[in-house]
């Protein structure tokens, strides 16, 4: 079999997965898209493994490894999504913005303090007249 | 004998450390302030007795010599230093004993006593040091002690300002002084006093006028001569015993001691001798006039001190080294006595003002008689010690020849004027304090004689104030003891005749008597009035010290403050602008980056992915 078919399949899967991760809003869909990304990689692993005729079959070993990790990751991800849904009543990703930077940070208030310091310094220079 | 000199320095230093260590324990402080000072007096007497009329006796060691110049720690005993050492220990002991009761109700007495001991040690270090750098250390420690003791009552605003003023003004002189010592030592390749004097005697000294002028700056600052004199009257804000010890008898005389010590350096520069004479003339007449106008007893005595120090400077300017040292010693005795007596009076009366005094002759008989002796010595009543020393200076000025001729004329003329003025203000002080009616006298008045711890020092000091001058009568006796006119180096060949000169003595006595009579006559006609009114329009100017402070304020303080304002402006508005600008621009950039952090994870991932693509493209381009 020509190598282009599995590689094309892998690229197609990766593109679909990327679209799902970057564009879909539902957290479950995103988790599924992540699975697609991982599977695209495993397809590549197996394809290249047979292409270079690897006698140790490292590509297949890693594929099994990735499947295991993906199962664990999905379980963890689903748990997180479930917790978020229970707490916030939605699993929509674009509404999860608690870690956004506020546009006016707390450091902006420090501007007034340094001006006061400079004023106090110049006032001290004027005081203490020596007789 | 050098061991005893070392002990004389070490004993007050140990006493000071022990007093500091004792905390607020008053009895501990009393013992450790008086006993070491008394022991130092004993050892300094041993030093003088053992020294005799030899030249310099040096014992010094250097620790870890390295580099071009070695610091020599040791003592150098000469007739001059032995005698000044005795003056220091005598006055210090009197002041410590006097302070036992005078400072009885002061919470900070232990600190005070420890600082007096430390001052005594520093002054003795100046007197006995073998090395100019070590001398400078003692010189500066004295200045620091003076600062702390003037500011002893730091709750009072005038004491704080006076302390700062004294410190700054003396430092103004000390900086050129330090440079002068440096120039001298670098040329002589040693800072040891013997080495420096030998080098000067060999005639190789270059830049002698410059060095002498730089050294003179330090002397003018420390000894409160014009134009750096105005700190001394203000320094009277300190406790009275401090005024007696530091600001009359010893520290301010250290400047004159230094000129006497390095006298060949000054005689090598005739122009500086004239400068010295001019400074002395301005200072002695000006401050005597100011003393005449003051109403505060201590300020009268302070201006009198400035005037008498100018006398010594004048004596040094005309080649009368022995005469000046004689006046230094006799002045130390009688001026310390005057201050201590004034302290007794001030405590009994409760005021520094002369207008609050009067008629104290019968209530304070011992104070009256001892102060009368001291005032007689100050005025120069014949056969009192001040008369001998003053006539010795005037005689030296009158007979000055060669390079001393020009300064001699200046000092002789202004010295005569000052004699008249001194007699005037001393008589005024005497009459206003002890004679006349008692202001607001009440029957149950508490103005009784002081406790014996205050009277014994008065009597102790009255003896030298009265009879010390007779040492001048011996043919060359005193002069050969302190090393003649030109320093220890050639002590065997020159010895000054200190006996009073006939003509100058006569003129001086007539002037003093006339002046005293005029003041007495003015007072007799109206005992309530202040004889200072005789100064007429000069009175206000003299009371304000001839506005020297205002001139200094205008010429130095105001420009310095304006300059400081410019510097402050440059600092806060120019340099700080860059610092603040760095902060502001970083915060602005942070604000821009903050907009990227929307919290949308898909945005982050998109950026991440595009970044990976960019990296991949760049990487692929490089591989090819």
Full 3-state SS string of B448-484: CCCCHHHHHHHHHHHHHHHHHHHHHHCCCHHHHHHCC
pLDDT: is B1 or B521 the higher one? B521
Q: Which two tokens stand for residue B190?
A: 């040693």
Going by C-alpha positions, the residue among B75, B197, B85, B181 that lies closest to residue B129 is: B75
Position A116 scores a pLDDT of: 45
Distance of CA B116 to the CA centre of its chain: 14
Position A82 scores a pLDDT of: 94
Q: Looking at chain B, which residue has its C-alpha nearest residue A128?
A: B161
Judge whether B360 and B345 are in contact, CB under 8 Å: yes
From A36-40, A51-55, A99-103, B173-177, the region with the lowest mean pLDDT: A99-103
Say what the ipTM of the complex is: 0.74
Count of beta carbons in the 10 Å neighbourhood of residue A120: 9
Q: What is the pLDDT of residues A91-118, one digit of tens each?
A: 888 888 888 877 766 555 544 444 444 4
Least CB-CB distance to A101: which of B549, B587, B597? B597
Which residues of B fall within a CB distance of 8 Å from A125? 564-565, 568
Judge whether B50 and B458 are in contact, CB under 8 Å: no
Judge whether B72 and B61 are in contact, CB under 8 Å: yes
**Cα(B267)–Cα(B273) distance, integer angstroms:** 7
Asked if B165 lies within 8 A of A130 by C-beta distance, the reply is yes
Q: If 0-12 CB within 10 Å is exposed, 13-18 middle and 19+ buried, where does residue B506 land?
A: exposed
Least CB-CB distance to B594: which of A18, A103, A111? A103
Residues 6+ apart with CB under 8 A from B140: B174
Least CB-CB distance to A131: which of B165, B591, B600? B165
Percent share of chain B, pLDDT over 70: 93
- The whole-angstrom distance between B587's CA and the closest CA on chain A is 8
Judge whether B368 and B342 are in contact, CB under 8 Å: no
- The whole-angstrom distance between B141's CA and the closest CA on chain A is 23
Judge whether B48 and B86 are in contact, CB under 8 Å: yes
Residue of A100, A101, A107, A117 to mutate for B, most B C-beta atoms under 10 A: A101
Going by C-alpha positions, the residue among B93, B116, B324 that lies closest to residue B239 is: B116
Q: What is the pLDDT of residues B428-465, one digit of tens each?
A: 888 888 887 766 555 445 556 778 888 888 888 888 88
Say whether residue A120 is in contact with chain B using an 8 A CB cutoff.
no
Q: If 0-12 CB within 10 Å is exposed, 13-18 middle and 19+ buried, where does residue B250 land?
A: buried
From A21-25, A28-32, B52-56, B394-398, the region with the lowest mean pLDDT: B52-56
pLDDT at B317 over 60: yes
Least CB-CB distance to B609: which of A18, A103, A114? A18
Say whether residue A102 is in contact with chain B using an 8 A CB cutoff.
yes
Least CB-CB distance to B572: which of A93, A103, A118? A118
Q: Which range, B27-31, B53-57, B353-357, is most confident? A: B27-31
Q: Could you tell me the residue ranges of all domains in chain A?
A: 4-92
**Cα(B21)–Cα(B23) distance, integer angstroms:** 6
The H-or-E segment that residue B76 falls in is: strand B72-77
CATH number for the segment(s) A4-92: 1.10.287.3510
Q: Looking at chain B, which residue has its C-alpha nearest residue A113?
A: B580
- The whole-angstrom distance between A125's CA and the closest CA on chain B is 8
Asked if A100 lies within 8 A of B598 by C-beta distance, the reply is yes
Q: Looking at chain B, which residue has its C-alpha nearest residue A102?
A: B594
Asked if B168 lies within 8 A of A98 by C-beta distance, the reply is no
pLDDT: is A85 or B362 the higher one? A85
**Cα(B504)–Cα(B387) distance, integer angstroms:** 11
pLDDT at B534 over 80: no
Judge whether B369 and B312 are in contact, CB under 8 Å: no
- The whole-angstrom distance between A45's CA and the closest CA on chain B is 19
- Enter the pTM of the model: 0.77
Position A20 scores a pLDDT of: 93
In this complex, how many residue pairs, one in chain A and one in chain B, have their CB atoms less than 8 Å apart? 61
Position B180 scores a pLDDT of: 92
pLDDT at A129 over 80: no
**Cα(B14)–Cα(B36) distance, integer angstroms:** 8
pLDDT: is A117 or B285 the higher one? B285
Report which DSSP code applies to B23: T
> What one-character-per-residue DSSP string does B166-193 give?
HHHHHHHHHHHHHHHHHHHHHHHT--BH
Say whether residue A108 is in contact with chain B using an 8 A CB cutoff.
yes
Output the average pLDDT for chain B. Answer: 85
Judge whether B154 and B115 are in contact, CB under 8 Å: no
Which residues of B fall within a CB distance of 8 Å from A124? none
Position B122 scores a pLDDT of: 93
């Amino acid at each position: 079999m020509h190598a282009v078919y599995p590689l094309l399949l892998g690229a197609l899967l990766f593109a679909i997965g990327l679209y799902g991760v970057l564009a879909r809003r539902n957290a479950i869909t995103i988790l599924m898209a992540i699975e697609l990304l991982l599977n695209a990689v495993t397809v590549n692993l197996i394809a290249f493994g047979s292409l270079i005729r690897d006698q140790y079959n490292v590509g297949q070993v890693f594929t099994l490894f990735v499947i295991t990790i993906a199962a664990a990751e999905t379980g963890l991800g689903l748990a997180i999504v479930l917790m978020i849904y229970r707490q916030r009543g939605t699993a929509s990703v674009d509404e999860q913005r608690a870690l956004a930077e506020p546009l006016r940070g707390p450091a902006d208030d420090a501007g007034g303090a340094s001006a006061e310091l400079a004023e106090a310094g110049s006032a001290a220079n004027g005081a203490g007249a020596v007789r | 004998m050098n061991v005893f000199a070392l002990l004389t320095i070490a004993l007050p230093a140990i006493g000071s450390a022990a007093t500091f260590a004792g905390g607020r324990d008053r009895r501990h402080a009393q013992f450790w302030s008086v006993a070491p000072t008394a022991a130092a007096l004993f050892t300094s007497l041993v030093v003088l007795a053992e020294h005799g009329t030899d030249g310099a006796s040096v014992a010094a060691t250097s620790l870890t010599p390295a580099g071009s110049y070695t610091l020599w720690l040791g003592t150098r005993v000469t007739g001059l230093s032995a005698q000044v050492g005795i003056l220091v220990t005598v006055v210090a002991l009197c002041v410590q004993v006097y302070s036992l009761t005078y400072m009885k109700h002061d919470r900070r007495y232990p600190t005070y006593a420890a600082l007096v001991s430390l001052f005594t040690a520093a002054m003795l270090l100046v007197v006995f040091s073998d090395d100019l750098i070590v001398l400078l250390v003692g010189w500066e420690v004295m200045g620091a002690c003076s600062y702390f003791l003037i500011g002893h009552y730091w709750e009072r605003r005038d004491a704080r300002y006076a302390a700062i003023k004294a410190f700054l003004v003396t430092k103004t002189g000390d900086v050129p002084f330090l440079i002068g010592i440096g120039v001298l030592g670098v040329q002589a390749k040693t800072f040891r006093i013997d080495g420096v004097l030998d080098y000067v005697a060999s005639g190789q000294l270059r830049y002698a006028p410059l060095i002498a002028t730089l050294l003179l700056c330090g002397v003018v600052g420390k000894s409160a001569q014009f134009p750096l004199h105005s700190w001394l009257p203000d320094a009277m804000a300190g406790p009275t015993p401090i005024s007696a010890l530091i600001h009359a008898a010893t520290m301010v005389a250290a400047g004159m001691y230094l000129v006497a010590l390095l006298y060949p350096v000054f005689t090598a520069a005739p122009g500086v001798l004239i400068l010295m004479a001019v400074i002395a003339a301005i200072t002695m007449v000006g401050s005597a006039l100011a003393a005449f106008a003051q109403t505060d007893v201590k300020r009268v005595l302070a201006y009198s001190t400035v005037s008498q120090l100018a006398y010594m400077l004048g004596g040094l300017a005309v080649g009368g080294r022995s005469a000046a040292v004689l006046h230094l010693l006799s002045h130390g005795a009688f001026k310390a006595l005057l201050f201590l007596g004034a302290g007794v009076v001030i405590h009994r009366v409760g005021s520094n003002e002369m207008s609050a005094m009067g008629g104290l002759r019968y209530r304070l008989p011992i104070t009256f008689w001892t102060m009368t002796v001291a005032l007689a010595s100050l005025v120069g009543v014949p056969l009192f010690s001040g008369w001998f020393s003053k006539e010795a200076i005037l005689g030296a000025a009158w007979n000055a020849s060669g390079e001393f001729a020009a300064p001699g004329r200046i000092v002789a003329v202004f010295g005569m004027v000052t004699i008249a003025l001194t007699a005037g203000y001393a008589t005024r002080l005497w009459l206003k304090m002890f004679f006349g009616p008692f202001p607001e006298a009440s029957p149950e008045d508490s103005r009784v004689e002081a406790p014996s711890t205050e009277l014994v020092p008065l009597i102790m000091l009255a003896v030298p104030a009265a009879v010390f001058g007779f040492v001048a009568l011996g043919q060359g006796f005193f002069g050969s003891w302190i090393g003649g006119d030109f320093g220890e180096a050639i002590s065997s060949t020159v010895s000054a005749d200190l006996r009073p000169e006939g003509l100058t003595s006569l003129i001086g006595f007539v002037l003093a008597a006339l002046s005293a009579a005029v003041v007495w006559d003015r007072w007799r006609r109206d005992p309530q009035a202040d004889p200072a009114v005789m100064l007429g329009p000069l009175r206000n100017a003299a009371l304000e010290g001839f506005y020297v402070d205002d001139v200094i304020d205008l010429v130095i303080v105001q420009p310095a403050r304006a300059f400081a304002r410019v510097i402050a402006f440059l600092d806060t508005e120019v340099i700080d602008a860059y610092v603040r600008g760095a902060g502001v621009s970083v915060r602005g950039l942070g604000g821009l980056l903050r907009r990227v952090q929307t919290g949308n994870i898909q945005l982050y991932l998109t950026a991440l992915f595009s970044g990976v693509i960019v990296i991949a493209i760049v990487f692929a381009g490089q591989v090819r």
